[in-house]
Amino acid sequence: MQYQAQRIEPVFGRAFLRRVFYPIATLALLSLFLAIAGHYLGHTISLGGHTEDTTPREIVIGNNVLELPANTIRFDRQRRNGDAERVDLYLHWPDMLGYQPAFLSDFNGAGPEKRLLFLTFEPRATSQDMSGRYGPIYSTLTEGPGSKGPAGLTIQKFRADSGFVNEELMVSTEQAGHTPFVARCLDKETTKSNLASCQRDIFLGEDLQLTYRFPREMLGDWQKLDQQIRTFAETHLKGQKDASVTRS
């Protein structure tokens, strides 16, 4: 009697093993990739859009050339060299520095005190800056002589029909040879939930406007603050476009 050798198939066939093995292998590779990516990218993700990079970025607005450290520029899309319609910054006060790990809580709005300044450089939108607009515009929209504010400022209430809802005007005493400090601020109640409830704009360069926002709590240091803003702007304004070679 002849016996034919019979092929004994394993309990789990090849097709079954393929169906089980390949998904497991894929998951293993995916897990390995995520582990590696987490190791290298975890720090970047934890920054939440901030950067520690202090490499200068040369930004051209109109004919004005600004040279700004990358960590002072608020939005990632603006951290590049070349022409721009505007650039938005944030600075830690009073040191006037960009993001650093030591400032993480303040930059995330979770610090015990409000320490952030927000700056925007853009082409001039009006013929006069905020101080120049006080006489012909703002003074006609306020009511009464105002009340005493911090550090010699006068707080003036806007009229109900002025269009400035929940806002007040902060004005310094006019001095010979100096334009008054003028800023718009949210009222005390509204400002509690706002990181930067006051706003002021100044002109510099060639048709360039700098608008800066700051916490109402800083009004007691308005003279120091305004001078620091001007110094920062003048330091980083490198000149005119025609006189500069823009970096690639």
CB 246, CB 81: distance < 8 Å: yes
Question: What pLDDT score was predicted for residue 153?
Answer: 97
In the Cβ-directed half-sphere of 182, how many Cα atoms lie within 13 Å?
A: 19
- Say yes or no to pLDDT of 246 above 70: no
Q: What whole-number percentage of the chain has pLDDT above 70?
A: 77
- Say yes or no to pLDDT of 45 above 70: no
For the record, the structure tokens of 108 come out as 């995330």
Confidence class for position 178, pLDDT limits 50, 70, 90: confident
Domains in the chain: boundaries: 56-243
Mean of pLDDT over the chain? 84
- Return d(Cα 164, Cα 184) in angstroms, integer: 9
Write out the H or E segment, with its range, that includes residue 132.
helix 130-133
Tens of pLDDT, residues 217-242: 999 999 999 999 999 999 999 987 76
- Return d(Cα 184, Cα 202) in angstroms, integer: 13
- Return d(Cα 23, Cα 20) in angstroms, integer: 6
Tens of pLDDT, residues 97-156: 999 999 999 999 999 999 999 999 999 999 999 999 999 999 999 998 899 999 999 999
CB 125, CB 196: distance < 8 Å: no
Q: Is 218 left (phi over 0), alpha (psi -120 to 50) or beta?
A: alpha
Rg of the chain over CA atoms, in angstroms?
Answer: 29
